[in-house]
Structure 1
Amino acid sequence: MKIGDILLKRYRIIIFVFSFLFFLIGLCFNNTNIMLVSICMLFTNNIWYACERINDRIIFFAFNCTFFVFLLARLIVKPLTGYYDPYNNNYYGLDFDNQKIVLIIFTTLFLSLLFLYIGYFLFQGFLLKQQNVGKPKKPNRSKASNGVFVKNVAIVSELLFYFTYLFNILVMIDKARFTSNLGYSQLYSSYDSSFPSWVIKISEMCPSALFVFLATLPKKKRSFFPILLFVMSGVLSLIVGQRNNFVLNILIILVYFVLRNREDKKEKWFGKKEFVTAVISFPFLILILNAVAYIRVDSKYEFSFLNSIYEFFYSQGVSVNLIGYAYSLSDQLPLGKIYSIGRIIDFLRNNAISHFLFSTQVFQPQTIDSALYGNSFADSVSYLLSPQRYIKGWGYGSCYIAEAYKDLGYFGVILGNFVMGSILALQVYLFRKKGIIGKWVCLSMTRLLMYAPRDTFTSFFVTTFSIINIVTLFAILLAALILSKQYYKLPIKRIKLTSYEEKKM
């Protein structure tokens, strides 16, 4: 390690230590401004730590960025810029003036950032030790056999992506027509696709097929067109009014590019050109996303560059209020619910097999039954805050930290973020050490993990291992296996495999 790197690391550690000092001072004197400074210092530590080895820690970096946008931005933008919100005159832009609730929110954010870092740091160290143990490898198929299989997986997954992409676009166009006629909020309360269910299921296979293709480590030139189509589908989702798909599609591609930097010794996936492009594009993307927010509620959009930037971060940071509601609405929320694993519980109860065998009661999302009797923190809070708007399709969303706090208080926040940090560290290990399936899991999970600050705790797990995703993965691997066996039955001279993907195997 260079002397300059050692000094920079020491500066980061100093910031890390001082964040504790500022937090304790703020907590002792009930000074939320000092507590906010400590939170910003800890966030700086996390980002700095990720940048020290960005190719290894890109997922941790990306998660902290979304953490900032969804949970910290509002608290910082309002005091620093004096952003004017006609509906909220709170100093931090919170829905709460109660000092106790504000202290709970700030304490929860500090603990979250701290144990995200600790969980990532410790689990990454554990995984590195495991890699260096040097266990003898089990005998495997020949390199040529592996190479043929990977090549066939790439062919099958790419073709399946193109096929399912057509259905995905059709479904998106159908949603766009619906929102154009009835409005964005109705999409979550009264939308009924004009296509049969099998068309929708095929469309849902599209992202998973792409991630399998990318997991085969194709060359940059070959992956360009599928990636472009994937980003374009995100652009189409903006027409529907769904900004999250657009942002998550771009983020996961950027993460993939950085991950490939270390894996690919011949091509530079994320170099100076890509970095400059990303930096220049960032403010313009914010302006587009902010404009979509106005368009989907049929509101007049008055352009102002700086004000649009402030407004975007302020509006996206609304999720921080859910931590306060986890405390203030605790007596009104349904009893006996474990929201942190609510998605898993609902998946086990609501799938077709459980319903057939045990006649379990199914609660549809965005309904009163789901709000009163289900395991959705988002539905319950949204209904309690505004029953009429909730019925019409409005929702406050969720937050994995708020769910953890509601379930187990500060201990839940500590445990939940330690687990989340460990899971983030695991993703890079899966991408680098666990073949096609590991890479597919990494890409699928990471895309959803980045939305966790505005989503349920276990959404990334349930969605990644949904039935349709498992079927997609199994179908691709089975087809590739059959093609590989047929290849070795051909009575022709074997050609030495030379592609990048095959050499890697």
Structure 2
Amino acid sequence: MIMVRRYIGFWLFLILNVIFVLFFLVNQSEFIISALFLVWVNMTIYSVRDLKSKGMLFAFCVAFFSFLMGRHLLSYYFDYEVEAFSEDVNTHAELCMLLSLVTVFFSYMFFYVRNKRKNKQSHGGYVLPDKYIKFIRKYSLGIFWFALVFSVIYAIFIVVLVHTIGYLASYTIEGKEMMRGNYLLLTLNRIEQALPVALCCYLATLPDRKSCNKICGSYFLYLIFTLLGGQRGPFILGALFLMIYYFYRNKRDGEVWVKKSWVRIGLISFPFLLVGLGLFSKIRTGDQIEFKNIGDSLVKFVYNNGVSVNVIKRSYELDYKLRSDRFYSMHFLHDGIFGLVFGSDGTGNNADKATEGYHLAHALPYLMFRDKYLEGAGTGTSYIAELYHDFGYIGIVFGNIIYGFMLALLAKFDKNKPFNTSMKLLIITRLLWAPRGGFTEFITILSLPATIFIYVVVFVSVFFVFGVPRKRCAKLV
């Protein structure tokens, strides 16, 4: 039966590729953009066939299309709100995206197969005594509930702030100073940073489904509050994070974590969720809301959400104006605890941060629309744009090899290594955000004082209580 399914799957896979090739030939599509879409389709199908182990790769495909590819494809194939970019700039963006996907795809497959072989060849492994796992679970859960209460309070304050001074104004230096000058709000912000860390430490112990549902449901409620405060990114990334974790746990121990009815409900509600997020984007910036039909709203969402492809294009156009002595992909050196050593760029949108700082997310919008940037507007960044500015096309290749390695590493979680597993879980959202975020944001989140503090409290204290386990117990194979 398994062989029959594989045989049918292979032919369906082959037919689908032939259909797309014929479509490209009929439309006389250029080779690069045709190859880009074909690689993405194959990469997505490859991951969908085994969501339990490759859910992270699937989520990365979704993020890559949503943040980068979707807008460009709509403009190319359907002439939807075509923007005035030269052919050279568009070709550059297509080549950058193609190089990224091809490199991630092949490096992922290489490291995934290599890791799988290593696991099969390993006849024994490290087994952490149950008392350690229970201690880590108990203490991380306590920190989670504590942080959740104050995080919700902080999220409610942000909702009030955004509705009072406006979404864009909250990103200006005045808006940031309003919070920095209030020690209570600053404390709440630091506690909020600890929330996902505590959650990842708890989930790293692979708790039972009933307990997990309660914790993850509470966390999802917090994500809704962040959405009301204008933060679409944390909500979408948090939802994808929970999806990846639940698909990983599904049927792994013989227990159903993801019911088929949930999948059906999710697929049906997904278009309506996208429409809602698109309308929400208009509301938060005060733009006029226009609604024709669901199809039109979905197209607008894909187009507006894919604005990060313009970061690749604009940074290429304005590369001669960007500082050549700045390695924007290494911005983690100026965040978290590294910022204490190498200097921090500070907070808020201001001229000094844009001209003297190490973040492309501030340097680029300042060059593009100076006054609007100072009023809180921005372009965001993209890991691809940062890699190209710093190291050229070869940098894009090597950077995506690193991403392929890390995505493959996230195919397996081990509760006997809760420290490693918690770090894997913690960087998931940063890797998914990379098409719209910085290349080294996964390092930044690990270097935040809140992250280090939680790890010390949870993992160092367990060794003080029970001592460092010296015996390595062989796993039963």
Normalised by the length of structure 1, the TM-score is: 0.84
Matched-pair contact (CA < 8 Å) for 2:168–2:375 = yes
- Give, in angstroms, the shift of residue 319 of structure 1: 0.6
- Give, in angstroms, the shift of residue 233 of structure 1: 1.3
Which residue in the other structure is 1:235 paired with? 224
Alignment of 1:11-22 (within 5 A): 12=13
Q: Which of 253, 266, 290 is 1:278 aligned to? A: 266
Q: Which of 430, 438, 442 is 1:448 aligned to? A: 430
- Give, in angstroms, the shift of residue 372 of structure 1: 1.0
Which residue in the other structure is 2:34 paired with? 37
CA distance in 1: counterparts of 2:335 and 2:458, whole angstroms: 28
Which residue in the other structure is 1:492 paired with? none
CA distance in 1: counterparts of 2:68 and 2:330, whole angstroms: 21
Q: Per the alignment, in what secondary structure is the counterpart of residue 320 of structure 2?
A: coil
CA distance in 1: counterparts of 2:187 and 2:463, whole angstroms: 26
- Give, in angstroms, the shift of residue 95 of structure 1: 4.7
- Give, in angstroms, the shift of residue 132 of structure 1: 3.0
- Give, in angstroms, the shift of residue 137 of structure 1: 4.5
Which residue in the other structure is 2:167 paired with? 184
Q: Per the alignment, in what secondary structure is the counterpart of residue 132 of structure 1?
A: helix
* CA spacing shift, 1:403–1:13, aligned 2, 3 Å: farther
Cα displacement string for residues 128-150 of structure 1 (whole angstroms, at most 9, x for unaligned residues): 23223336546x66xxxx11221
Cα displacement string for residues 320-351 of structure 1 (whole angstroms, at most 9, x for unaligned residues): 11111232111100121112222235556522
Which residue in the other structure is 2:283 paired with? 295
CA distance in 2: counterparts of 1:168 and 1:7, whole angstroms: 49
* CA spacing shift, 1:136–1:232, aligned 2, 3 Å: closer
Cα displacement string for residues 173-215 of structure 1 (whole angstroms, at most 9, x for unaligned residues): 1211111111101122123324253332222211111111111
Cα displacement string for residues 96-147 of structure 1 (whole angstroms, at most 9, x for unaligned residues): 1x11111111111111111110110111122123223336546x66xxxx11
Instruction: Name segments (4+ residues, structure 1) moved above 6 Å.
Output: 13-23
- Give, in angstroms, the shift of residue 464 of structure 1: 2.8
- Give, in angstroms, the shift of residue 285 of structure 1: 1.3
CA distance in 1: counterparts of 2:392 and 2:23, whole angstroms: 23
2:351 maps to 1:373:
no
* CA spacing shift, 1:361–1:102, aligned 2, 3 Å: closer
Which residue in the other structure is 1:466 paired with? 448
Matched-pair contact (CA < 8 Å) for 1:346–1:375 = no
Matched-pair contact (CA < 8 Å) for 1:319–1:399 = yes
Which residue in the other structure is 2:187 paired with? 198
Paired AA for residue 449 in structure 2: I
Which residue in the other structure is 2:470 paired with? none
Matched-pair contact (CA < 8 Å) for 1:71–1:453 = yes
- Give, in angstroms, the shift of residue 479 of structure 1: 4.7
Which residue in the other structure is 2:471 paired with? none
Cα displacement string for residues 61-103 of structure 1 (whole angstroms, at most 9, x for unaligned residues): 11011000011111223455554x4xxxx2xxx451x111111
- Structure 2, unmatched stretches of 5+, are 468-474
Which residue in the other structure is 1:494 paired with? none
Q: Which of 40, 65, 69 is 2:62 aligned to? A: 65
Paired AA for residue 161 in structure 1: F
Matched-pair contact (CA < 8 Å) for 1:344–1:458 = no
Aligned residues: 461
- Give, in angstroms, the shift of residue 54 of structure 1: 2.0
Q: Per the alignment, in what secondary structure is the counterpart of residue 333 of structure 1?
A: coil
- Give, in angstroms, the shift of residue 60 of structure 1: 0.6
Identity %: 26
Q: Per the alignment, in what secondary structure is the counterpart of residue 197 of structure 1?
A: helix
Structural RMSD (CA)? 2.9
* CA spacing shift, 1:484–1:403, aligned 2, 3 Å: same
* CA spacing shift, 1:433–1:10, aligned 2, 3 Å: farther
Alignment of 1:317-328 (within 5 A): 317-328=306-317
Paired AA for residue 95 in structure 2: T
For structure 1, which segment, 301-310 or 360-369, has the greater mean C-alpha deviation from structure 2 after superposition? 360-369
